Amino acid sequence: MPRILLTGAGGGIGARLRKLLPPIYPDLVLSDLKAPADLTPSEKFVAAELSDIAQVKKAVAGIDGVIHLGGFSVEGPWDTILNANIIGAYNLFEAAREAGVKRIVFASSNHAVGFYPRSQTIDTQVQVRPDSRYGVSKAFGEALAAFYAFKFGIGCLCIRIGNLGERPLDERRLSIWLENSDLVSLIRIGLEREGLLYEVVYGMSDNKRAWWDNSRARELGYLPKARSEDFAAEILAAQKNIKPDPVGDFFQGGTFCADEFANDFDMLKKLKP
């Protein structure tokens, strides 16, 4: 039975996975800066500050596979992103290599490619276009995963997560929504698919309005069940009450693109795909 470490277990995605993963991976170890307030006696927990490699090594000892959600999950000050997401991811991969971990699922984000227009369908071969320091850290994590996969043979799956939850939240999320059980299916591919070395996939459900070509995920066996279109009428009606945002509404990354934006928007709109 593989022992799986879930970092970032105290966050929003972590909370959902704590409920969904134990039937599949009964030997699940949770980690975060501090234990979730609702930790149950049946859950194993190891506290670890990701920027401190000694603590990360303790969390990774005896682990077969890691689901790395840990870090700062939105845009933030450079120091925060640097410590939590860049140094933190390096420490995680390096500790995993030393401990003989076989698989790592890296929670990347749509914000690694946020500066593609919504009018363009992108696959996972496109260049990264981060829309934030946070997005840069996710592109770094994908590069780190490739390094540890090709240099050291750790099988790595990077999931560019759209927006996880029970339902899509707005019009943008109709295109990028990822339902909880569909995320579990992707994680299982990362931890269990035979021969997997390095792959990048989009973390989205079966979304009719998708901007992403997720055929690589399907080739790896991903069969999403949830469909954002089931919520479309309701979401589009509610969208009328949300103030338009010219830059955010044009690019896939939404407000992450609009925040601090100081470029020539007309010029960017004319760029050829």
Neighbour count for residue 115 (Cβ, 10 Å): 22
State which residue, 107 or 154, has the beta carbon closest to ligand 15L.
107
Q: How far is the CB of 3 from ligand 15L (least distance, A)?
A: 26
Q: Contact letters (x/-) for ligand 15L, 21-60, by CB under 6 A? A: ----------------------------------------
State which residue, 110 or 214, has the beta carbon closest to ligand 15L.
110
Q: Under rule CB under 6 A, which residues in 196-235 are in contact with ligand 15L?
A: none
In angstroms, the CA 149 to CA 196 distance is 9
| Cβ contact 65:103 at 8 Å | yes
Q: How far is the CB of 73 from ligand 15L (least distance, A)?
A: 4
Return the ∠ at Cα 88 (arms to 87 and 91), rounded to 5°. Answer: 85
Q: How far is the CB of 75 from ligand 15L (least distance, A)?
A: 9
Query: If you count DSSP H runs as helices and E runs as strands, how many of each does the chain have, helices first?
Result: 12, 9
252 contributes a contact to ligand 15L by CB under 6 A = no
| Cβ contact 63:31 at 8 Å | no
Q: Under rule CB under 6 A, which residues in 118-177 are in contact with ligand 15L?
A: 163
Q: How far is the CB of 99 from ligand 15L (least distance, A)?
A: 27
Stretch that binds ligand 15L, among 14-22, 97-105, 108-116, 194-202 (CB under 6 A): 108-116
SS3 at position 29:
strand
109 contributes a contact to ligand 15L by CB under 6 A = yes
In angstroms, the CA 259 to CA 270 distance is 21
Segments in the chain forming alpha helices (H): 12-20, 53-60, 78-81, 88-99, 133-152, 171-176, 180-192, 215-219, 232-239, 246-250, 255-258, 265-270
Stretch that binds ligand 15L, among 25-33, 106-114, 197-205, 217-225 (CB under 6 A): 106-114
Q: How far is the CB of 164 from ligand 15L (least distance, A)?
A: 8
In angstroms, the CA 264 to CA 248 distance is 14
142: nearest Cα among 116, 117, 175, 105: 105
For the chain, report the end-to-end CA distance as a whole number of angstroms.
46
The dihedral formed by the CA atoms of 81, 165, 175 and 122, expressed in degrees to the nearest 10: 50
- Residue whose entry in the numeric block shows the structure tokens 């066996």: 221
State which residue, 10 or 155, has the beta carbon closest to ligand 15L.
10
- Which of 7, 110, 137, 214: binder of ligand 15L (CB under 6 A)? 110
Q: How far is the CB of 250 from ligand 15L (least distance, A)?
A: 15
State which residue, 103 or 138, has the beta carbon closest to ligand 15L.
138
State which residue, 202 or 222, has the beta carbon closest to ligand 15L.
202
State which residue, 11 or 190, has the beta carbon closest to ligand 15L.
11
- Which of 68, 111, 129, 133: binder of ligand 15L (CB under 6 A)? 111
Catalytic amino acids?
A: 134
Q: Under rule CB under 6 A, which residues in 66-105 are in contact with ligand 15L?
A: 73-74
| Residue 166: Cβ-neighbour burial (10 angstroms; 0-12, 13-18, 19+) | exposed
Tokens linked to 33: 């800066």
The residues that touch ligand 15L, with contacts defined as CB under 6 A, are 73-74, 109-111, 163
